[in-house]
Amino acid sequence: MEVILAKSAGFCFGVERAIKLVYEQIENNKDGRKIYTFGPIIHNDIVVKDLESKGVFVFEDEDHFEKIAGSILIIRSHGVPKAVYEKAEKEGIRIVDATCPFVKKIHNIVAEHSGNGEEIVIIGDKDHPEVKGIVGWAKGKVSVIKNEQEAKDFKPSGDAKVCVVSQTTFNHLNFQYLVEILEGKGYDICTINTICNATQARQEEAGSVAHLADKMIVIGDPKSSNTQKLFGICKEYCVDTYYIQTLKDLDNVDLQDTKIVGITAGASTPNNIIQEVFLYVRGKKL
C-alpha cells in the first residue's frame, strides 16, 4: 500500500504564529496576570484543552470585559471586530494581537474602502468568526454572500461602488464563480481576492492527492472551516474520503485491499497528530 501525505498538511503560518504568541505569554507572564483568548485561539479542541491545562482560558463575552479587567487578552487568529479592542482597552486589559496577518490585511482593506463610501461584500460564511470580525471593520453597508443564490439576489443599497473581498479560507473556485455572477450584474465592482495563498495551494494539493487515492483521510477539528472545505474538495475526487480528528477515529475505517491512501489536514491540525496517523496507516500490513 502506498501512502501519500500532502506536503502542505498542518499548521499554516497564521495558526503557527498565534500558537507561538500564546506560549510566549505563558512563559513571560512574570506578574502573574490571568491569560485569556478571545474565543478559541484556533479551531482545534485538542490545542484549546492543552492551553487550558496551562492556565489559558477562552473568554468571548465582550459586553462584560469588566470580569477580566487587568488581565491579558489574546486576540484569536481569526481576528475580531474593531469594537472588541475598544471595549477591552477601556477595562485596562492588555491586548496581545494574534490575528493572522492575512486576515488583518482584510480588516484594513474593508476599513479603507468603506471609509471611502464603498459598499462591502464579503464572500464567506456569515457565522464564521473570521467573517464576523471582518464585518466589524466596515464603516457602512456590508453584505455576506456564501452561495450562488445569494450572489444572484444581491443588490447594492444605492449607487455606491462595491468592494468584494473573501474569507481567507473560502474555496477559490467557488469565489471565482460567485464573483463572476456579481460582476455580470453590471455594478461598479472592485474585487480583491483575499483568499490566503497557502489556503489555495492546500486546496489544490488536496484535490491532486485525492484524485490519485483509493481512500482519502482528512484530519482536522469538526469546527474547522478550512478542513471542511478540504473534505468537500477531496470527496469530489475520491468517494471514500474520511474526516477524522485523531487516530482513534480511524477505528471504523476499513483500509483492507487499499492500494493508495491519501492524507491531508487542515490548517489548525497539530503536526504530531498528522504524523501519528501517517505512521499508523503506513505501518498497516495489508
Model confidence over 93-124: pLDDT tens digits? Answer: 999 999 999 999 999 999 999 999 999 999 99
Predicted TM-score (pTM) of the model is 0.86
> Which of 99, 128, 154 is the last residue before a domain boundary?
99
Rounded mean pLDDT of the chain? Answer: 94
| 52-73: pLDDT as tens digits | 999 999 999 999 999 999 999 9
Are 67 and 116 contained in the same domain?
A: no
Catalytic residue among 60, 119, 130, 180: 130
Among 164, 191, 218, the domain boundary falls at 191
66 is catalytic: no
Q: Domain with 162 in it: what CATH number?
A: 3.40.1010.20
91/94 Cα distance (integer angstroms): 9
**pLDDT score for 285:** 46
- 43 falls in which pLDDT band (50, 70, 90)? confident
User: How close are the terminal C-alpha atoms of the chain, in Å?
Assistant: 7
Question: What per-residue string of b and e applies to 12-49 under the rule 16 or more CB within 10 Å gives b?
Answer: bebbeebbebbeebeeeeeeeeebbbbbbbbbbeebbe
Same domain as 110, residue 87:
no
- Looking at the structure, tell me whether residues 207 and 277 fall in a common domain: yes
Question: What does the pLDDT look like over 117-151, one tens digit per residue?
Answer: 999 999 999 999 999 999 999 999 999 999 999 99
Q: What is the pLDDT of residues 184-241, one digit of tens each?
A: 999 999 999 999 988 888 999 999 999 999 999 999 999 888 899 999 999 999 999 9
Give the amino acid at 204: E
Q: What is the side-by-side order of every strand in the sheet holding 189-191?
A: 142-145, 119-123, 162-166, 189-191
Domain that holds residue 54: 13-99
Q: How many domains does the chain have?
A: 3
